[in-house]
A and B are shown apart, each in its own frame.
Chain A
Amino acid sequence: MQDNLHVERRVISVIVKNEASVLSRITDLFSGRGYNIESLTVAPVPDSEYSRLTIATSGSVRVIEQITKQLHKLIPVLRVYEHTDLVEKEMAMIKFPLNESLSDIETLCNVYNGKIVNVGKDVVIAMVADEPHRIGFFLEAIKRFNPKEIVRGGTVALER
């Protein structure tokens, strides 16, 4: 399979048992086998003994296939979804100095499904939620408002 060396981005969801050190099993697998993690989010699946991890990664077709197989081989892993047709969202929070134009920031946030969520003594905090690549555009656009701190939440995804 030397044919397919083209590297592409993939989002993989992993349903794992909620138990001690399960996250290390996943991350150790990635580091031990030299796979790349672009983003990783994890939260419990409601009303179950499982958690859902959403991992954005990249690699050739063969690497992606190995990632899903190796993940599935881990004992506490229930299911692995390699998404091809998916809705993907990410959240970001940004802290601005209060002396920037709040209405401009608010307007910009609106375009990316966001708003100003907190106003403090010296700073204002805004949030947006959109596709990861659009979050990138947004973060580029708000540079002019001198953001003091940016935190990205990591990607979450559901198959269509």
Chain B
Amino acid sequence: MQISGAQMVIEALIAEEVEVIFGYPGGAIMNVYDEIYKQNKFQHILSRHEQAAVHSAEGYAKKSGKVGVSLITSGPGFTNAVTGLADAYMDSIPMVVISGQVPMSLIGTDAFQEIDAVGISRSCTKHNYLVTDAADLPRVMKEAFYIASTGRPGPVHIDIPKDVTAQIAEFNYPKNISLDTYKPTTKGNVRQIKKAIDAIEKASRPLLYLGGGIINANATEQVREFASMCGIPAVETFMGRGVMGDSNPLRIGMLGMHGNYASNMAISECDLVIGIGVRFDDRVTGKLSEFAKNADIIHVDIDPASISKLVNAHYPIVGDVKNVVTEFIALAKNKIKSEKYVPWLDSIAKLDKLHPLSYKEDSDRIKPQWVVERIGELLGDDANISTDVGQHQMWTAQFYPFSRPRQFMSSGGLGTMGYGFPAAIGVKRADPSRTSINITGDGSILMNIQELMTSVIYKLPVINVILNNNYLGMVRQWQTLFYDDRKSETVLEEQPDFKMVSEGFGGIGYRVTTKEEFDAALKDAIEKDVVAMIEVIVDRDENVMPMVPAGGSLFNMMLPSNSTEGSK
């Protein structure tokens, strides 16, 4: 059929079974928006900033496992969206972001709202396209969804000049697709897998090091089965929170800069690391030459470039995590005896007893960690949790009792302040039956606070729990520890009245200073089912502990001075 480029975009989104997109209109993308007006097959959510539109699509994608879609205009519309693209790229989130561009005849003339969008997005997308002929659009749209969602997932950007969206051409949406130059390896090498299992059998202190790749591959079940079948303990990365389920006795905790003592000691003392869907990020490894120094390394990942990038893998296995771990299970049956690792598990348990994850309660002030724990006690599995970036983010990763994958949405790789609220809106859209909570700080929440409007209008209520310490807390913590406590530009003495701000947009707000008030506020916010801001005045000077200073060795942790007291 002969249709316009703009209609092709719509038809392709329908063919890809897209149910919602997040966007913001503007001059160069108007042809597409006109077709959005005429259709009712999918919902368009008008975010209040392009960056937020992309973050919402990320939250939706991460929660649903589908490709997130965002639609924006040229120039500033696109440049606003770049942070979202980079965020999705770093955290391997499947996304298709479509931007308008000035007409072909104006490209290169410094036209109004013109920017070299594909030039900018090249280094922060998995792939990108500038579509110069509407006849290419069906293929490009098909490829974009395919590339975004296969292999190591990531964002794909499509830039479409305005005259191309007006151009009429033949539309035949491809059913199948095969690209000569893009064939991700999904099946692990059988010989390597056998060797890895042999290595596990020989090891006396093996340790599973589990990351976000497991969640992307929907392989949580297999990984849990493999761990329990073999009786091998596991540490999770920040992105891998929820893989094991926190009640799993084999889960030691989160490792890395703010990992718990036992996790960081376990990886330092193990004799075999079984890394699955991980990328040896510097926030995880600390000083590379000291990382898992006594261990051989098995590394399973879909991205060959992740393997031996930073740490040499003795057993590299490129493949889809689900396939590979399924093979692991088949081979390990009857071969690996879980009793063998009991002494190793006991020694880890002793380490955890020595320095458990903890904080010291204070009768006068609410501790930020308590807030996170309390939300976990009250809601647990019934909530999906997003965060912004900073201290609150680390406390959430440490103290929230995650029970399942896709429960925790946070900007891990790029560390984007302003991610949490819009992402939580996308999460609510993907999983309306659960409470969507954004745990945030008084610094982060102001980046993308305009999303209160989106949340109200589309009835996608998010409860923003603001851990207010009147600081940019994480930077303040580093200043205290490494810059002689010179608090350069991190003191936020004057903050808005968050309750009033929320009410101004049609939401609700609370300012709480006691535990009782917090419980009441959270209960009330859940009942009212409208966007909420719960501002919690917390102990200002609390630090995130344990902490491995940047570039330090994991086994040299700063520990809370009160580490044997606290509640946990």
Contact = CB atoms under 8 A, between A and B. Distances in A.
Interface of A: 1-2, 16-17, 20-21, 24-25, 28, 32, 62, 65-66, 69-70, 72-73, 75-78
B289 A2 contact: yes
B311 A1 contact: yes
Nearest to B126: A75
Contacts of A77: 181
B311 A70 contact: no
Interface in B100-140: 118-119, 122-123, 126-127, 130, 132
Name the prevailing secondary structure of the B interface residues.
Answer: mixed
Contacts of A17: 181
Given A20-B132, A21-B118, A28-B123, 4 more contacts: A17-B181, A25-B122, A28-B122, A75-B181
B304 A75 contact: no
Given A1-B311, A75-B127, A75-B147, A69 B305 contact: yes
A76 B181 CA distance: 6
Interface in B157-198: 179-182
Contacts of A24: 119, 122
B314 to A, nearest CB: 11
B495 to A, nearest CB: 37
B288 interface: yes
B309 interface: yes
Given A75-B126, A75-B182, A69 B304 contact: yes
Interface residues of B, number: 22
24 contacts: A2-B289, A16-B181, A17-B181, A20-B132, A21-B118, A21-B122, A21-B130, A24-B119, A25-B122, A28-B122, A28-B123, A32-B123, A62-B309, A69-B304, A69-B305, A69-B309, A70-B305, A73-B303, A73-B304, A75-B147, A75-B179, A75-B182, A76-B181, A77-B181
B64 interface: no
Contacts of A69: 304-305, 309
B312 interface: yes
Contacts, number: 43
Given A20-B130, A21-B118, A75-B147, A1 B181 contact: no
Nearest to A25: B122
A75 B288 CA distance: 30
The CB with the most chain A CB atoms within 10 A, among B180, B304, B305, is that of B305
A65 B313 CA distance: 13
A66 B288 CA distance: 17
Nearest to A69: B305
A137 to B, nearest CB: 37
A76 B309 CA distance: 22
A32 B130 CA distance: 21
Nearest to B305: A69
B308 interface: yes
Interface of B: 118-119, 122-123, 126-127, 130, 132, 147, 179-182, 288-289, 303-305, 308-309, 311-312
Contacts of A65: 308
A77 B303 CA distance: 15
A28 B124 CA distance: 11
B130 A66 contact: no
Nearest to A3: B312
A78 B181 contact: yes
A92 B388 CA distance: 56
A73 B126 CA distance: 9
B288 A62 contact: no
A116 B403 CA distance: 77
Nearest to B152: A73
A146 to B, nearest CB: 42
A62 B308 contact: yes
A30 B308 CA distance: 19
B184 to A, nearest CB: 10
A30 to B, nearest CB: 11
Nearest to A67: B305
A17 B312 CA distance: 32
Nearest to A66: B309
A42 B122 CA distance: 20
B232 to A, nearest CB: 25
Contacts of A32: 123
A100 B324 CA distance: 70
B458 to A, nearest CB: 34
A20 to B, nearest CB: 7
B440 to A, nearest CB: 31
Closest 9 CB pairs of A and B: A69-B305, A1-B312, A75-B127, A78-B181, A32-B123, A75-B182, A73-B305, A69-B304, A2-B289
A46 B305 CA distance: 30
Contacts of A78: 180-181
Contacts of A21: 118-119, 122, 130
A46 B123 CA distance: 30
A97 B180 CA distance: 51
A141 B218 CA distance: 64
Contacts of B305: 66, 69-70, 72-73
B288 A2 contact: yes
B441 to A, nearest CB: 31
Contacts of A75: 126-127, 147, 179, 181-182
A2 to B, nearest CB: 5
A68 B308 CA distance: 13
Contacts of B308: 1, 62, 65
Contacts of B132: 20
A24 to B, nearest CB: 7
Contacts of A28: 122-123
A38 to B, nearest CB: 22
Nearest to A19: B129
A32 B305 CA distance: 15
A5 B180 CA distance: 35
Nearest to B127: A75
A69 to B, nearest CB: 4
A62 B122 CA distance: 24
Contacts of A66: 305, 309
Contacts of B309: 62, 66, 69
Contacts of B180: 78
